[in-house]
Amino acid sequence: MFVIITYDVNVKRVNKVCKKLKEYLTWTQNSVFEGEITKTQFMKCKSELEKIIDPDVDSLYYYVVENPKHLKKTFVGAEKGDMDIFF
């Protein structure tokens, strides 16, 4: 399945969230990760993320498309460099 995860996380936790997401998905832009993932991996990723965030302050949005062919992705403009510059 194809997953897009967007997040709005306090600066104290954002590095941890990014590092965790990078284990499973691809960073595309500020606070956006995406990619193909199995259901089991997705559940694991979710539970690990939800141990990191403070649900009273932070937020995580999960967009899941079971069959990647049902999603069309395009982009315009400058491709962002890789995330390594943040770590």
- For the annotated binding site for Mg(2+), the residues are 8
Establish if 47 lies at the interface with a second copy (CB under 8 A).
no
Choose between 30 and 87: whose C-beta lies nearer to a second copy: 30
Residue 63 near residue 4, CB atoms below 8 Å = yes
Integer Cα distance of 68 and 36 in angstroms = 8
Residue choice 16, 28, 35, 83 for contact with a second copy (CB under 8 A): 28
Establish if 76 lies at the interface with a second copy (CB under 8 A).
yes
Establish if 55 lies at the interface with a second copy (CB under 8 A).
yes
Integer Cα distance of 24 and 38 in angstroms = 10
Q: Exposed, middle or buried, 46 (CB in 10 Å: 0-12/13-18/19+)? A: middle
Residue ranges binding a second copy (CB under 8 A): 4, 6-8, 28-32, 34, 46, 50, 53-67, 70-80
